[in-house]
Structure 1
Amino acid sequence: MIKFKHLLPILLATVCIAGCGDATDTDTVIDVQDYSQEAEGKVYEVSNDKLDFVFNADTTQFTVTNKENGQVWYSNPQNADSDTIANGSNKDELFSTLIVKYSDNKGQDFTYDNYKYSVKDKRYSIEEIKDDAGKVNGIKVLYTIGDIEKTYIIPTAISEARMDEFCSKMESSDSRKIKNYYRRIDINKLRPNDNKDELLSQYPELAETCVYVIRELQSDSKFERVQEMFASAGYTVEEYEFDNSKINVSNATDKAAFNVAICYTLEEDSLVVNVPMEEIQYYKTYPIVSLCTLPYFGAGGTDEQGFMLVPDGPGGIINFNNGKTNQASYYNQLYGADLAISRDAVVDESEVSYPVIGISKNGGSMLSVIEKGSSYAIVQGDVSGRLNSYNFINYRYTMIHGEDMDISGKSDVTVKAYEKNLPKESIVQRYIFSDADTYVDMASVYRDYLIDKYPSLADRSAENHSTVIDLIGCVDDKEHVLGVPVTKDLALTKYEDADKIVSELSDSGIKDMSVRYSGWSNGGIHNSSLRKVKLSKRLGSKGDLTDFVENTTAKGIDVYMGGNFQYVFKTGLFDKYGVNRDTCKFVSRELCELPYYSPIYFDELPDEYEYYLARPEYAMGNVDSVSEYIADLGTSNIAFLDVSEQLSADYNYKHPVSREAAMNMITDKYKELAENGAKVMTNSGYFYNIPYSDVVTGMVLNNKCFNIIDETVPFYQIALHGIVNYTGEPLNLSQNSDETFLKSAELGAGLCYTLTNEPASVLQDSKYTEYFATDYSKWKDSIVENYNRFSNDFNGTYDEYITNHEQVAPNVYRTEFESGKAVVVNYNFNSYTHNGVTVPARDYIMEGGVN
């Protein structure tokens, strides 16, 4: 249990700030934090066996020292004052530890950094954090961030009797000055331009007595002097609140203001940074739309050598000072787009699959891992020479989501609608410090972290899942019945066909494979709601399906029944799906009825491609229904298609589900299935799938490379190999199958094939032309050949860690496993000689094994 101890008095100034509840902007009054009364030079120090944390109370900046190698990491650049590139807000941000972006009622965004809008004016407070044993192990800083006019503890208006009472306790000279600063109002002796009704409304006591109302003072020094005089007479905050209760004049500022807390604690080799979202306070008229924590922690200067690690695809290296200031800075969202945020088009962007960034310099490194709040994160980074003289990388978190909402069906007028509240969650980042200074060693540090946090990853058996066979049952297609187009199931791989294909591959020697069977019910790949499972008669009987599952399982091959659980492509009267009840909503309160986008020109496809996005709770109910049904077939294994590759929130105004909460629902379902003996296959490398998946398909093995990235590296695969079974995209559907095959060899991935018994030509006039090369009969020999080669070459390595990875020549890479076996991959179109051995063009060789 973490305990907080107040160390410093807080100035009892107040401002009205709306919090996360349903209160209006004037309902909640909180303290504006103030550190100005504290002695300068205060330093807080927290230490453990591995780290020293030193916090400067005057600047709220800090250092972390790694005791093992003596390396010091700074929260902010140390020579920011002398930066000749940064100016204005860019320079202020160099001194900041938090950057807040907010929106106004017109939807325009503005930015506050906590240096200019908090620290410079000492609007913060500091507390120590203690562990259960009472030992200090951290610091909590609460910032009031905004362009805030200081509120002084003096009466805005006060009855004549109370004014006389306090003046009698002052020096006579002060008493005279005080009354000069106030106007005495007698309701029976008003000035010609006074509005009697308005004055009585504002100052109800005027009906019975005279009231003193403060005049407009021209300087802070006068306000401070008046505050001192009232304080000498015993005027307290309680008196101030009493006087304010007697008037109807709002003291609320009309400017944006935010209270944001950030907690720092030490845990072994890590600094843990926690931002409690439920403690963030803000005006509802100025919603906080994003928050960037520690934007320049560990930033490298122009005189330093090093690199930044970005989680782009398998991993990307951005070298310090690479001069690419004419290229776009790095900016990419973790886990892709949230489909419950409306959009007009989709762009072909690289995937950010795992919540890790890193900096390597001076013989050591720092990894930043998001433990909570990763679903809101955007990774952003840049090199020196554009905004400032530093190389930096950080996370920016989306807070309150907003979008345009139509307010009239008779016009094009829209207003900006926002989420009602922030979720009661936290953002937690762990900074791990080590002497690892290469991406290989940094990946090993991350692997150790994963095994420590998810012990089940270390318990994986040495099963070799080198091949995944993905079978498609059926799709929907148009048939003409009496001249009328009718949607019918088009069988591509019947239950008996699936049994035959697996048997033939098994008889050909393929033993180490997993089978995913998708499109086996509810209208095929684009299924209807799975709350009620309905087999396709065109695929065969339930007995046929049971035979396939039992026969495959008897061969020692796992069968995973695939399905879309949150996508609902078809609806009917008796499918247990209520469109208005069970569909997610956009922030605009419209239903999430989503279009498909063209993979060629990235624009919307016709209405027939549209589908609904089901609420997360409903989607998890679909999983339960499928789990119950397939138990009768003889399996409990499920392949998750949509929820494993598309993470979305529900912005239902009355019953919202945050993106993070939706992610937790999914992982809880994975864990529940595992506890009941089921196996899980997921269809992307998104990290929330990794700790709970027996097999991961569709992992990105290459990136689409922001130009600012200098080198693509397999950081993710180095961290996961030996603890997770994974494959890349289906080899037969890859745009470059040779490249995918070689990448699979280089990164220790298995092979995946998407197959149908029917030829792909039957789909040429359908909306499923992405399955352009799935004909099993044409791929069987290649599957067997590639399996035999991988099985021979990589036998025994799938449960081993990758211990080294390097580029040995242009487009030639070498990956080494624990046993000493290594693969050398040549991507060139000409052969390459490695240690006297020829590596053929577009091929690989093994070292330490049988080629």
Structure 2
Amino acid sequence: MKRKRYKLTLSALLATSLSLLLFVTQTAWTINAANTPVQATSLDKPELQSQAPAVQAPAASAAVAPAPGPTANPAGAVNAARLKAELPDGAVFKLAAQSDKLKLLVDSSSGHFQVEDKRTGDTWLSYPNPEQWPAETITGTWRNNLRSPVMLEYIDPANFKSQPKLISFIEDKGTIEGFQITSSGFKVTFNFGGTKFKIPVEVNIKDDFVETKIIDGGIEEGKLSLLNLKLYPMFGAEPSLGQDGYLMIPDGSGALIRFKPNKINDKSVYRENVYGNDISFYSEKTARQSVRMPVFGMKSGGKAFLAVMTAGEEYSKLFAAPAGAFGQSNWTTSEWQYRIKFFQNTSKKGNAGFFTYSKERFTSERTMRYYLLEKDQSDYVGMAAKYREYLIKEQGLQRLKIAGSNIPLFVDIVGADVKKGFMWDEYLVGTSTSQAMEMVKRLYSLGIENMAIQYLGWQTGGYSSMGGLFPVDKRLGGNEGMKQFIQFAHSLRMPVYLAASYSYNNNGRDGFNPRYDGLRNLAGKLMEFEMFATRQMISLMSTKFAARTVAKDQQQYRDVGADGIYFEDGIGRHLNSDFNTENASSRTGSMQSQQDMLKLVKESLGGTSVDKANMYGLKNISHIHQISDDYSYDLFVDESIPFMQIVLHGLLTYSPNWSNQRNQYKTEMLKGIENGSSPAFILTQAPSEDMIGSYSVWYYSMNVHDWESTAVEEYQKYNKALGDVQNKFIIGHRTIAPKVKETTYEGGKKVIVNYNETPYIDIEHKINVPALDFMVVQGGGGQ
């Protein structure tokens, strides 16, 4: 027994000695990191898969003590001081540059910076909050990641089995090179010690924002290949701590992730491509809506910022981590993409092959602006107002010009489609040009005096025919019939846009040859999709081929008098790289081509309408159709906000889903009124049952006679709420009670929407909103 007890004691002593040695080693590295951050490292292995980053439980020797109070343990204070020392020392930051509103300070030994807001007295940091850092429980690799100014993912191209690995500047024993103060900020190169990456960046102060820029041409990779990187990912990061705070993400129309206590086992993050997926590369399939705005923001207590990606956003993912996912802080950033995974097929059918990464690095200027908001603008409405200001000042958008006080009703008229017949396809006439004239005349006589008309399915062969659009199908009235209809609409001061898809071709017209003119992915495979109704494979057109076709068609649009083109399901919405050798185009090049097409059409015809538009085309878009008014319902996301609508209202018109195709008619109508939208209907003169079986126009109920009284009633409601504020900016939006929303416009007009099935009554302010209804409060508080 004594012998056994002696052995146990010796083992315990040995374990204790090893623990003490480990603690001293960790402490030595930590103290060294405090004095020279670029030399700090971790005892953990750096090979961490980005797909499954582990958050480790704190070791017993690294237990975090609470902030010392009057009777606190002195050992706890020492421990807190030691943990704070992992971050840059505030005393070493020196002034680099300043504007009238901001001061930029930098630590030349770590590359981190601070921004002092002269207006508010707030200080913004590019690293975690030092006051809260002692409470941070994350350890090992991710503790170093959160402290680093740069973290990146890479692969070893020499090893075909290589998997992506995550490394950060501190984890990789990085050093600072070429630090230089400039007239507006500083330049620095982050030299990663082990992996040999070199990442040169600039940080500048201008007016009310700090700008970070990656100098792509100066990046060095050595023997490894850079996949993506996050620059200053912890800018503005804050733990929840019970304060009113949230992350604003551009999911759908916009969404908020509110600050909540850490969920230790919840690693949920938001990570989506800006401007949607690129079909030429591999994309994870999710049910999320596309990110159409290159922005994100954060509110923490009484301060907030808005980040705008001003260059390179087409090669970016939006990354947002609530507290508990990666550390105790809430943080959000851009993940700049340099190489993307794709499927290299090894068979003609494309069903055999392997996943790999693009060899060439995507080159693009990568620039981010962090706008620091004043106290009275420190919420999502203030963020939207700042983005709107950016679009006006930097992108040239102008306030909407209107004629009269009647809001436009967007009427989509369906011309024709086809369905499968016994011997050949059967042509189905929904609305001829002469019938369209009678339809508009009837709606006008019922009191809808302002309509914006979009004519669908007018092309040769009907709505399902893609390619070689002109002439207008003779069975609808031909070019002459369309010309007469448009002239009639003009007599009522109503514009007519002709709907067109310049993204697909299934008939070979316009000289389209899939072999030479079809969009191909990086593996060289022709991009096609199967039309559900016909099982026909339809080719995607190269963007450059589409641009040539759009230019060629302009004269024919002008000949019939069209006021613009309604681009469906493609231009302005989908952004794809093209590796067709005849029409090769990067994602950046495709974006530029689409911008050029929109500009050409607007200058040639007067206007453009785009289905579910991305923001890169805004300067030349007159109307956004089927704009999102909801979010993707991730469990960690708390609520939808009309961020996009707040940005756009008063600059251009937008409409949600067609009113006669809603799932919840009244609720969705109220949502449109809350968001400042214009109503829209899709209609035919033919009975709805006549279109059953059509290949593309599968909508359930479209007959104008079934919907005209509803359209008139809805139009009157929208007009009452929004007719006199069409070109006014939204300056306020809030929840004033559960399921009761208030939208405020310039001049003070308020629209209060009640989504409850009981009335909302506020006796003090004399507000009584019936169940599932809205109320208008004119500026100055009167009703």
Cα distance per residue 1:468-509 (max 9 Å; x no partner): 11112222321223xxxx235432222222222122222222
Cα distance per residue 1:517-539 (max 9 Å; x no partner): 12211433333224x62432332
2:590: which partner in 1? 662
1:124: which partner in 2? 177
Residue 124 of structure 2 aligns to a residue whose secondary structure is: strand
Letter in 1 for 2:496: V
2:535: which partner in 1? 608
Letter in 2 for 1:76: Y
1:142: which partner in 2? 189
Q: In structure 2, which of residues 764, 767, 775 is the aligned counterpart of residue 845 of structure 1?
A: 775
Deviation at 1:669, TM superposition (A): 2.3
Matched, 1:687 2:615: yes
Assess, with a 3 A threshold, how the Cα gap between structure 1 residues 399 and 702 changes in structure 2: closer, same or farther: same
Segments of structure 2 that go 5 or more residues without pairing to the other structure are 1-90
Assess, with a 3 A threshold, how the Cα gap between structure 1 residues 494 and 655 changes in structure 2: closer, same or farther: closer
User: Do the aligned residues in 1 keep the contact of 2:268 with 2:325 (CA within 8 Å)?
Assistant: no
Question: Within 1, Cα distance between the matches of 2:736 and 2:479?
Answer: 55
Matched, 1:678 2:616: no
1:619: which partner in 2? 546
Deviation at 1:81, TM superposition (A): 6.1
Assess, with a 3 A threshold, how the Cα gap between structure 1 residues 303 and 661 changes in structure 2: closer, same or farther: same
Question: Within 1, Cα distance between the matches of 2:397 and 2:697?
Answer: 40
2:316: which partner in 1? 377
Assess, with a 3 A threshold, how the Cα gap between structure 1 residues 459 and 347 changes in structure 2: closer, same or farther: closer
Matched, 1:466 2:408: yes
Q: In structure 2, which of residues 233, 249, 256 is the aligned counterpart of residue 317 of structure 1?
A: 256
Deviation at 1:331, TM superposition (A): 2.4
Question: Within 1, Cα distance between the matches of 2:241 and 2:669?
Answer: 41
Assess, with a 3 A threshold, how the Cα gap between structure 1 residues 51 and 411 changes in structure 2: closer, same or farther: closer
Matched, 1:425 2:361: no
Assess, with a 3 A threshold, how the Cα gap between structure 1 residues 781 and 459 changes in structure 2: closer, same or farther: closer
Question: Within 2, Cα distance between the matches of 1:830 and 1:741?
Answer: 17
Q: In structure 2, which of residues 429, 432, 437 is the aligned counterpart of residue 494 of structure 1?
A: 432
2:137: which partner in 1? 85
Assess, with a 3 A threshold, how the Cα gap between structure 1 residues 388 and 616 changes in structure 2: closer, same or farther: same
Matched, 1:387 2:322: no
Question: Within 2, Cα distance between the matches of 1:658 and 1:62?
Answer: 34
Matched, 1:649 2:590: no
With 298-307 and 743-752 compared, the bigger mean Cα shift is at 298-307
1:585: which partner in 2? 520
1:512: which partner in 2? 450
1:716: which partner in 2? 644
Matched, 1:61 2:112: yes
Deviation at 1:107, TM superposition (A): 5.7
Cα distance per residue 1:341-372 (max 9 Å; x no partner): 356x9543233221111112242211100111
Matched, 1:267 2:201: no
User: Do the aligned residues in 2 keep the contact of 1:44 with 1:55 (CA within 8 Å)?
Assistant: yes
Assess, with a 3 A threshold, how the Cα gap between structure 1 residues 774 and 146 changes in structure 2: closer, same or farther: farther
Letter in 1 for 2:175: K
Residue 551 of structure 1 aligns to a residue whose secondary structure is: helix
Superposition TM-score, scaled by structure 1 size: 0.75
Question: Within 2, Cα distance between the matches of 1:497 and 1:324?
Answer: 60
1:540: which partner in 2? 477
Letter in 1 for 2:386: V
Q: 5 Å matches for 1:809-824?
A: 809-824=737-752
2:388: which partner in 1? 447
Q: In structure 1, which of residues 391, 401, 406 is the aligned counterpart of residue 340 of structure 2?
A: 401
2:103: which partner in 1? 52
1:571: which partner in 2? 507
Segments of structure 1 that go 5 or more residues without pairing to the other structure are 1-39, 130-135, 149-256, 597-604
Assess, with a 3 A threshold, how the Cα gap between structure 1 residues 672 and 322 changes in structure 2: closer, same or farther: farther
User: Do the aligned residues in 1 keep the contact of 2:267 with 2:324 (CA within 8 Å)?
Assistant: no
Residue 557 of structure 1 aligns to a residue whose secondary structure is: coil
Residue 794 of structure 1 aligns to a residue whose secondary structure is: helix
Question: Within 1, Cα distance between the matches of 2:178 and 2:240?
Answer: 34
User: Do the aligned residues in 1 keep the contact of 2:174 with 2:193 (CA within 8 Å)?
Assistant: no
Assess, with a 3 A threshold, how the Cα gap between structure 1 residues 609 and 845 changes in structure 2: closer, same or farther: farther
Residue 272 of structure 1 aligns to a residue whose secondary structure is: strand
Residue 59 of structure 1 aligns to a residue whose secondary structure is: coil
User: Do the aligned residues in 2 keep the contact of 1:350 with 1:705 (CA within 8 Å)?
Assistant: no
Question: Within 1, Cα distance between the matches of 2:350 and 2:504?
Answer: 32
Residue 379 of structure 1 aligns to a residue whose secondary structure is: strand
Deviation at 1:311, TM superposition (A): 1.2
1:27: which partner in 2? none
1:22: which partner in 2? none
User: Do the aligned residues in 1 keep the contact of 2:465 with 2:507 (CA within 8 Å)?
Assistant: no
Q: In structure 2, which of residues 693, 708, 713 is the aligned counterpart of residue 785 of structure 1?
A: 713
Cα distance per residue 1:652-688 (max 9 Å; x no partner): 4686422222122212222233334521111124212
Assess, with a 3 A threshold, how the Cα gap between structure 1 residues 48 and 501 changes in structure 2: closer, same or farther: same
Matched, 1:355 2:282: no
Cα distance per residue 1:531-559 (max 9 Å; x no partner): x6243233222211111111112210010
Question: Within 1, Cα distance between the matches of 2:95 and 2:771?
Answer: 60
Assess, with a 3 A threshold, how the Cα gap between structure 1 residues 324 and 620 changes in structure 2: closer, same or farther: farther
User: Do the aligned residues in 1 keep the contact of 2:281 with 2:343 (CA within 8 Å)?
Assistant: no
Matched, 1:299 2:237: yes
2:48: which partner in 1? none
1:189: which partner in 2? none
Residue 496 of structure 1 aligns to a residue whose secondary structure is: helix
Residue 431 of structure 1 aligns to a residue whose secondary structure is: strand
Question: Within 2, Cα distance between the matches of 1:685 and 1:411?
Answer: 31
Residue 319 of structure 2 aligns to a residue whose secondary structure is: strand
2:124: which partner in 1? 73
Q: In structure 1, which of residues 310, 317, 333 is the aligned counterpart of residue 273 of structure 2?
A: 333
Deviation at 1:417, TM superposition (A): 4.7
1:698: which partner in 2? 626
Cα distance per residue 1:293-345 (max 9 Å; x no partner): 221110002447222211122222222234456373222332222233356x9
Question: Within 1, Cα distance between the matches of 2:305 and 2:524?
Answer: 42
User: Do the aligned residues in 1 keep the contact of 2:175 with 2:191 (CA within 8 Å)?
Assistant: no
Assess, with a 3 A threshold, how the Cα gap between structure 1 residues 766 and 346 changes in structure 2: closer, same or farther: farther
Deviation at 1:76, TM superposition (A): 0.6
With 735-744 and 517-526 compared, the bigger mean Cα shift is at 517-526
Residue 520 of structure 1 aligns to a residue whose secondary structure is: coil
User: Do the aligned residues in 1 keep the contact of 2:402 with 2:726 (CA within 8 Å)?
Assistant: no
Question: Within 1, Cα distance between the matches of 2:760 and 2:605?
Answer: 48
Residue 672 of structure 2 aligns to a residue whose secondary structure is: helix
Superposition TM-score, scaled by structure 2 size: 0.81
User: Do the aligned residues in 2 keep the contact of 1:521 with 1:527 (CA within 8 Å)?
Assistant: yes
> How many pairs does the alignment contain?
679
User: Do the aligned residues in 2 keep the contact of 1:351 with 1:703 (CA within 8 Å)?
Assistant: no
Assess, with a 3 A threshold, how the Cα gap between structure 1 residues 281 and 301 changes in structure 2: closer, same or farther: same
Residue 553 of structure 2 aligns to a residue whose secondary structure is: helix
Question: Within 2, Cα distance between the matches of 1:338 and 1:425?
Answer: 16
User: Do the aligned residues in 1 keep the contact of 2:282 with 2:341 (CA within 8 Å)?
Assistant: no
User: Do the aligned residues in 1 keep the contact of 2:428 with 2:691 (CA within 8 Å)?
Assistant: no
Residue 386 of structure 1 aligns to a residue whose secondary structure is: coil
Matched, 1:633 2:560: yes
Deviation at 1:64, TM superposition (A): 0.9
Question: Within 2, Cα distance between the matches of 1:412 and 1:645?
Answer: 28
Deviation at 1:41, TM superposition (A): 6.0
Question: Within 1, Cα distance between the matches of 2:119 and 2:298?
Answer: 18
User: Do the aligned residues in 2 keep the contact of 1:53 with 1:65 (CA within 8 Å)?
Assistant: yes
Question: Within 1, Cα distance between the matches of 2:323 and 2:350?
Answer: 48
Letter in 2 for 1:334: V
